[in-house]
Each structure stands twice: as structure tokens, then as C-alpha cells.
Chain A
């Protein structure tokens, strides 16, 4: 699984000097904020998915994600990695876990909304992952509060 390159964090524009002469009209670095990237390997089919996977929700030792059509079936065992975009890139994923597909709901856009129960996960990594998600949320909250 590949490492994810990192865009600048949300709101980092405020540390710069907007409107300075000679600088570009737009700051192209700021289009995305860091978000957890999900990679998965289906142990039953032997197929890996590194794009089109999107984490939607994190529950108690469970994840909800949007996955490509036909990527998984109920009861499939998965190997999951969650990478967080950082500068410099992290040497390894933030979270590595095994899980079992618990529920699948096909969506209109032909993707699957999949609930995965996590079977094996390192406690420390899990907590770090939760913390990262909540930090991303806090960044948005701060951004809105400071600028609104």
C-alpha cells in the first residue's frame, strides 16, 4: 500500500501575508484539509483497494465506509489500513486492523455503504486514530470560529 502525500492543513493561510506583492493570486496549497485515507485488502478475494474508499463514520470498534461496487461481500474478512496525510509523510499507517464485513447497502451511485466490525486492532493505534479524527474536526471548528 502506498503512502499518501500531504496537502497543507486547513486554515494555514492565516499565517501568511495575503495580498503581498509578487505572490500568486490564489493559494493553491489550500484546497484540501487532511483526511484519513482508507486502504483495504479483501482476504477472501485477494483484491486490494486503494482509491474510491471513503471513511464515513467511526463507531465503537467499527467503521462505516463507502467502497467500490463488488469490492466486498458480507462476512468477508478484510485487512484495513488508515493513513493520515501528514508532513512529512508518516512511515506507516495510523491504524492497521482486521475486520469483517457486517452489513452492505448498495447505493444509487453503484458504490457500497459497508459496515465493518473490527476484529483485531491495536488499542494505542485506535485511540490515536480517534484523536486524529477529532483533531480534524476541531480544526474546522476553529477555522469557522476564527473567521466567521
Chain B
């Protein structure tokens, strides 16, 4: 019997592995698809088993139809992320998806893209520019982990398979077994943590993740798992610290940035919010969800500073950043102006009002804000005149009624105040008590 070179042996195993396998290449760019088609042909794939797909929906349908053994997909397929294909298929066919090799091909060299791949547990990530050899080595490495795993890898695969079928007890046993089979079984610990988390054994779950992190302090799955379990256990402070740790090692995705902001507010880590802002500016990311979260967080943070010794200057800086981040979107600008007016800071509010773009200067929103600012320093008769003019134009806002009812009452025009109150009741039924209390309170 002749002894075979391990590389040649692996190549032979791989060649046999892909020879009859159905494969999908997903890329909106037809030329890129053809290139990978050529590469896969050279690696031994049969042309009739290669399906070239150019859209996400087509890929989704085809995956359900042919149940491919290998999917090579571009990171972005049109407007959608190729990773979502895996996500959708995993939800639909958990067991079959486990057997499929799922590989991302991309020119996106960012760690956030790689981190997202980790999150979705893709089998490999091919970076452009690629060579025939780099593709071969990467696919082979991923394939061999599935077809010829180590004892540890086998226990993990078996555990994942039973976990996908919903048998938590059996899966737990596989992962406990896996822990014994590798000197650094971080992945096994992360699955144990996940299973125990599902079973609501939160302390144990946390210990599992910590055990994994003791071996590799930046293990992605363990960090994400620990964060989730700490949130579930309502350990917000600890969860926030874990999230910071995660964000330091792996560039935050848009979703994670929003989470950081949410938790920073919940745990009153206001200084961190500015760091998120700086990070966001350097990200060159225009994710609208993050922009909204960021602006809201900066505003909450500024509101907090208004109530502290750091005071107005600091708050104004944050409000400006919020407006800069959102391009002075009126919703956020209005919020800032309302907050400033609550503190009688009408001059500062007027500065923010000037951020409204000229073509929106006569909008109902701008007229409302201008009036509310004026109501803090203008002459009573002019305030009443302008307020009534707004109502006559059909611009109804609770705050206009508040100002007018208060002024009319202060001036002793009780009938006018009550008339306004009646209209306000109709306009804002839910706020009736508040407005009535205002009228009563304002009576001289």
C-alpha cells in the first residue's frame, strides 16, 4: 500500500465531495458569476451542477428547490445581504442548511463584514481579489471541516444537528463531550451557554460563556452570548460592559451601535454616547436606523446635561451634533427646541430654528416653532395675535393651545380661555385633563 501525501489525499476527498454536489453561485454581476463558475469548474465541479443566480429572490427560491451542497454568494446581492439567504434557509430547513457549505465572496475587507459572517456562522469568507488557489484552499478548508472533522469538530457538528432538531438535552450532551476533546473548546462552551440560556439556567449559561472567554477573550460567539444572557438576566451594567468589549474587538454593526446607544442611556453612561458619535462619523455609514438612534441618544444625553452642573454649553454641543447627524431633520430639531423652551432658553432655541433649510422656513412646523420661541419673550397681545393666526390657518398643536390658554387666563380673558379649552378638548382628547389643569392653574 502506498502512503498518500496529506494534501493530495485532501484534494482527492474534496474532488469527490464536490463532483456530484449541486452548487449555487449568487452574484448580481453576471461576469463575476462566470468567473467563479470557471474557478469551480477547475476545482472539479460538473457544469450541470452549477447554478448561476443574479438576484436574491431567485437565489432564495432556488435554494429551496435544489437544496445545494455549496452556496457561494456575494456579500451584497442587490439591496440585500447575501448572509440573509443563509438566515432565511436556516429558519426554513435547519437540518439541511447545516449540511450546506455557505461561503461569502466579497471585496468588503472590513472587520464588521467578517464579524457579521461570524454571527451568521458562515463556513468561509473569500476576499477579493482572489486567486484560483486562494479559492481552492478556502473552500477545501471549510469542506474538510464538514466531511472529515476532528473528534472535537464531529462532536460540534453532531451537537448542532440535534440542536437544529430541537433536542436540547441531546445537544447539551454532545457539547459537554466536545469540551473534553479540545484544549480550547470556546465554540462548545458557546453552544452550552446558548442551550442553558434557552433553558433559563442563566447563571450556568453565563459561566459557560465566561469559560469560553477565559480561553479566548475575544471569542465572538461567547461575547455575543454573554451579552444576551446578561440582558436576559437584567444585568444591564454587566451587559453594557460586555457590549463595550465586543465593540472594541469587532467593529460594531449598525444594529450593535444602536444597542450600545440604548444601553448607554439605560445605564446612564452619557459620556460614551459621544464616543459612539465619533465612531459613527468615522464609519462612513449612512444607516438611517443608526442615525435616528444616535440623534435620539445625543438629545437624551443633552437633556441630562441641562439638568447638571455641566449645563447648557455641553447640552448645546450635543444638540448640535444630533442635528448635524440627522441633517437638521425637523423631528429632532423640534425636539431640541421643545427641550430648550422647557428651560426658557429661547435665544438658544432660536439658534436651532435657524438651522431649518430656507425652503422649509414657511412650513407649518417652522411657523409653530417660531411662535413657541416668540411666546417666551414677545408682547402678550402679539403672542395672542400670532397664536390665533396659526389656529385660523389650521395649524393646531397642543403647545399652541397651552400658550394661548395660559395667556388668556393670565390676562383675565376667562371666556376666551374656556373657548380655547373646548376646542383643545376636541383636538386632543387624550390631553384634556392636562389642558384643563393648565387653565385652572393659570387662573389669577
Contact = CB atoms under 8 A, between A and B. Distances in A.
A11 B220 CA distance: 11
Nearest to B184: A146
Contacts of A136: 109, 127
Contact of B118 (A57, A113, A148): A148
Nearest to A60: B132
Interface stretch (B43-51, B90-98, B272-280, B382-390): B272-280
Interface string A20-53: 0001111110111111100000000000000000
B117 interface: yes
Interface stretch (A70-78, A86-94, A116-124, A137-145): A137-145
A144 to B, nearest CB: 6
Interface in A103-128: 105, 107, 113
A147 B275 contact: no
A16 B130 CA distance: 30
A13 interface: yes
B152 to A, nearest CB: 12
A58 interface: yes
B220 to A, nearest CB: 4
A18 B249 contact: yes
Contact of A25 (B216, B218, B248): B248
B187 A32 contact: no
A64 interface: yes
Contact of B220 (A10, A105, A138, A147): A147
Contacts of B57: none
Contacts of A24: 248, 275
Given A28-B279, A31-B110, A58 B129 contact: yes
A141 B143 CA distance: 13
Contacts of B221: 147-148
Contacts of A34: 109
B118 A144 contact: yes
B251 A57 contact: no
A25 B252 CA distance: 10
Contact of B218 (A10, A13, A54, A137): A13
A14 interface: yes
A143 B279 contact: no
Contact of B131 (A13, A113, A133): A133
A122 B15 CA distance: 33
Given A113-B31, A134-B131, A137-B134, A144 B117 contact: yes
A100 B375 CA distance: 72
Interface residues of B, number: 53
Contact of A35 (B109, B117, B216, B260): B109
B182 interface: no
Interface string B111-128: 110100110011011111
B129 A18 contact: no
Contacts, number: 149
Q: Main SS of chain B's interface residues?
A: helix
A25 B133 contact: no
B283 interface: yes
Nearest to A137: B134
Contacts of B109: 10, 32-35, 136
B244 A19 contact: yes
A28 B117 CA distance: 20
Given A26-B248, A144-B118, A33 B110 contact: yes
Given A10-B111, A105-B31, A25 B275 contact: yes
Interface residues of A, number: 45
A59 interface: yes
Nearest to A64: B35
Contacts of A33: 109-111, 114, 127
A73 to B, nearest CB: 17
Contacts of B134: 133-134, 137
Given A18-B217, A137-B137, A36 B248 contact: no
Contacts of B248: 13, 16, 18-19, 23-27
A1 interface: no
Contacts of B245: 18-19
A107 B29 contact: yes
Contact of B111 (A30, A63, A105, A141): A30
A147 B216 contact: yes
A10 B118 CA distance: 14
Contacts of A143: 111, 114
A30 B275 CA distance: 16
Nearest to B222: A147
B375 to A, nearest CB: 40
B55 to A, nearest CB: 13
B244 A25 contact: yes
A93 to B, nearest CB: 15
A55 B129 contact: yes
A32 B32 CA distance: 23
A54 B31 CA distance: 15
Contacts of A133: 129-131, 134
Nearest to B248: A18
Given A31-B112, A56-B107, 9 more contacts: A10-B109, A54-B128, A63-B129, A64-B129, A141-B138, A141-B141, A146-B216, A147-B221, A148-B121
Interface of B: 29, 31-32, 35, 107, 109-112, 114, 117-118, 121-122, 124-134, 137-138, 141, 187, 216-221, 241-242, 244-252, 260, 272, 275-276, 279, 282-283
For the complex of A and B, the 3 pairs showing the least CB-CB separation, nearest first, are: A19-B245, A55-B129, A147-B220
